[in-house]
Amino acid sequence: MFLPNKFKPTKQKKFDLRNSREKFFKRKSKNLEFLLNKRFNWMKRYLKKKNYIIELGSGNGLFKEVLKNKKIMLSDIEVYKWIDLKIDMNNFKLDKKFQKKVDVFVINHALHHCAYPAKLLKELSKYLKKGGLILINDPEISFFFKFFLYLLNHEGWSMDSKVFNLKKPLFNPKNPWFSDNAIAYHLFNKEKKFIKFFPEYRIEKNVLNEFSIFLNSGGVVSDSFFIPLTNFFLKVIDCFDNILISFFPKVFALNRRVVLKKIK
């Protein structure tokens, strides 16, 4: 199937974050819990004995609910009762008390909603202490990710994005739901290019994962059909996913996991 180099949905969707948060607590889906545990539990080792942990683009705030870490501060451009800080990733500003004090920034499936990703990463370095970390999960623009975005008319991508441009936005920054799902690919696919542009960081981790467990999760903020499975079968499927992704990453991978460490 031919998929365009660029795709923009005909109608931009906006999700009900309150509703998605309530559904998470009510339906107790093992599928979604498995997915979120996979996305977040690997971060635990990086969060131990850390004082300032800030998640950007927290949305429905499930990151803190899953990890049960009281030191995590949730932020978003839209303020809800579970949000601690109002932060616009496209115009990033923090109180001066955080300068060179933040231990960890977390960006979970929010970086592709930032119209100035390179500018954001530059700004974050001003607030990170030396040795501080940025932990990232973001969509990987594989064949199947494009296919499902196109099929569902959900979000867009551009394989021509100039992600290292500090001044020109990749899309309209005024709408927090606009996105470019190729951002993580463009930033981290060629590590040498990233390091040349960001000498203040070292890439500690850069791996691809998630396929079936993402598709059959029922949605994190959306509400989609899924087949309920036990943890045993979810683990089996996840192992099979990892094998597929190891052989055909450009076809099957739906998520990129990255750890950046500030070294300057």
The residues with which 259 forms a beta bridge, in sequence order, are 135, 205
3-state SS, residue 213 = helix
Is residue 1 assigned to a domain? no
Distances, alpha carbon 190 to alpha carbons 38, 57, 95, 119, 193, in Å: 25, 25, 33, 18, 6
The whole-angstrom separation of Cα 224 and Cα 104 is: 32
pLDDT of residue 12: 75
pLDDT (average), residues 2-27: 88
Give the structural domain span for 60.
6-262
pLDDT (average), residues 129-157: 96
Q: Which long-range contacts does 167-171 make (Cβ < 8 Å, 24+ apart)? A: 167/119, 169/90, 169/115, 169/116, 170/115, 170/116, 170/117, 171/115
pLDDT of residue 95: 94
Comparing 64 with 2, the larger pLDDT belongs to: 64
Q: What is the pLDDT of residues 185-206, one digit of tens each?
A: 999 999 999 999 999 999 999 9
Q: How many residues are there in the chain?
A: 264
- Ranking 17-31, 169-183, 247-261 by mean pLDDT, the lowest is 17-31
pLDDT (average), residues 45-70: 97
pLDDT of residue 1: 61
For residues 184 and 138, the answer to whether their CB atoms sit within 8 Å is: yes
Kindly report the backbone phi and psi dihedral angles of residue 8, in degrees, each rounded to the nearest multiple of 5, phi listed first: -130, 125
| pLDDT, mean over the chain | 95
**Whether residue 8 has pLDDT greater than 70:** yes
CATH code of the domain covering residue 191: 3.40.50.150
3-state SS, residue 234 = helix
Total domains, the chain: 1
**Whether residue 207 has pLDDT greater than 70:** yes
231-247 vs 30-40: helix crossing angle, rounded to 10:
50
For residues 16 and 220, the answer to whether their CB atoms sit within 8 Å is: no
Q: What is the pTM of this model?
A: 0.96
pLDDT of residue 227: 96
Is residue 148 assigned to a domain? yes
**Whether residue 51 has pLDDT greater than 90:** yes
Is residue 201 assigned to a domain? yes
The H or E element that residue 7 is part of is strand 6-7
Kindly report the backbone phi and psi dihedral angles of residue 125, in degrees, each rounded to the nearest multiple of 5, phi listed first: -65, -25
pLDDT of residue 255: 98
Comparing 28 with 189, the larger pLDDT belongs to: 189
pLDDT of residue 257: 98
pLDDT of residue 195: 98
pLDDT of residue 29: 93
pLDDT of residue 154: 85
**CA neighbor of 47 nearest in space, from 264, 262, 263, 259:** 259
Is residue 166 assigned to a domain? yes
Alpha helices in 48-167 (DSSP H): 62-67, 117-127, 143-152
For residues 181 and 111, the answer to whether their CB atoms sit within 8 Å is: no
What share of the chain has pLDDT > 70, as a percent? Answer: 100
**Whether residue 102 has pLDDT greater than 80:** yes
Rg (alpha carbons) of the chain, rounded to whole number: 18
What share of the chain has pLDDT > 90, as a percent? Answer: 92
Is residue 42 assigned to a domain? yes
Give the confidence band of 14 by pLDDT, cuts at 50, 70, 90.
confident
pLDDT (average), residues 38-44: 98
Instruction: Provide, for the chain, the percentages of residues in helix, strand and coil under a 3-state DSSP scheme, each rounded to the nearest 5.
Output: 40, 20, 40
